[in-house]
Amino acid sequence: MPSLVVLRHGESEWNSRNLFTGWVDVDLTARGEAQARHSAALLREAGLLPTVVHTSVLTRAVRTGAIVLDALGRPEVPTRRHWRLNERCYGALQGMARTVARERFGDDLYLLWRRSFDVAPPPLEPGTPGDPAADPRYADLPAGTLPRTESLADVTARLLPYWREVIAPDLRSGQTVLVVAHGNSLRALVAHLDQLSPDEVLGLNIPTGMPLHYELAADLSPVVRGGSYLEPGAAAVAAAAVAAEGH
Ligand SMILES: O=C(O)[C@H](O)COP(=O)(O)O
């Protein structure tokens, strides 16, 4: 059976400061690096040795993937990086503390912007941190591709082509695929895999550095809806902490 593991990057510098991050390119904290190494140990114990890795082009995901492979003694495993796996663009919220956002805009709008499927935050101002128009990584993308803000629906629309055209063929060819991405780009993928309702999407939170395993049927539908965290107890506690951020 095709085997997929999805992993949100380890804790980042802005995760530890509770700042909205989006496309701002920050690094891992020492805790985040340790989470990546622990994820490798869990993968080894579970017999889930990746044969291909897909990451976003953001440092926190790229480095998490590299640390996992290094800890497994498998630095030669091919890794592909693509912007379509990037975190959602959080627009004008990028760089803002979650507590400030919740107090400034109110609980309802704060929740809608963080966790609804089809509501995007206000767009980022040109030239502010994380503006992809100023980043050479995206220089070759067609004009109009780069987001200035994204809803989860927007993330889904730009992520699924990569899922269908690149990751799915790896799975169908029998690879053990590790996808290292972000809290919301993985929410978009999980919502697609599990066909989540809008209410289920609203309650979906993915913790940093905790491998989530999906056994997939031949049509790539999950054998177990929601997949299986390799450390389910710790993941449930950490996901609740993500939901509570900013409160
Ligand atoms: O971009 C960010 O700030 C995080 O990766 C996800 O933040 P959220 O859990 O508030 O959506």
The whole-number average pLDDT for the span 28-54 is 98
Nearest CA to 87 among 130, 139, 32? 130
Q: Which residues are known catalytic residues? A: 9, 87
The per-residue pLDDT for 57 is 98
- Work out which ligand 1 atom sits closest to the CA atom of 115: 11
Q: Which residues pair with 214 in a beta bridge?
A: 4
Nearest residue by C-alpha to atom 7 in ligand 1: 20
What is the 174 CA–ligand 1 centroid distance (Å)? 32
- The yes-or-no verdict on residue 128 having pLDDT over 90 is no
Closest atom of ligand 1 to 205 CA is: 9
| pLDDT tier for residue 129 given thresholds of 50, 70 and 90 | confident
d(CA 25, CA 3) in angstroms, rounded, equals: 29
- Is 114 annotated as ligand-binding? yes
| Domain assignment of residue 124, given as a range | 3-186+195-243
Decide if 153 contacts 115 (C-beta within 8 A): no
Distance 87 CA to ligand 1 centre (A): 8
Checking if the pLDDT of 1 tops 90, the result is no
For the ranges 50-64, 116-130, 229-243, the lowest mean pLDDT is seen at 116-130
- Among the atoms of ligand 1, which is closest to the Cα of residue 114? 11
CATH number at residue 208: 3.40.50.1240
Ligand 1 center to 20 CA (angstroms): 6
Say whether pLDDT at 25 is over 90.
Answer: yes
Question: Quick one: average pLDDT of 44-70?
Answer: 98
23 is in an annotated binding site: no
31 assigned to a ligand binding site: no
Pocket of ligand 1 (CB under 6 A): 20-22, 87, 90, 114, 182-184, 242, 245
The strand pair at 228-229 and 212-215 is best described as antiparallel
pLDDT of residue 202: 94
Say whether 47 counts as a known binding-site residue.
Answer: no
Alpha-carbon distance of 37 to 219, in angstroms, equals: 32
Neighbours of 104 (CB within 10 A): 11
- 172 phi/psi in degrees, rounded to 5: -65, -25
Q: How far is the CA of 3 from the centre of ligand 1 (A)?
A: 26
Residue 82 has pLDDT above 90, yes or no: yes
pLDDT (average), residues 227-240: 97
How many domains does the chain divide into? 1
Kindly state the average pLDDT of the residues 165-172. Answer: 98
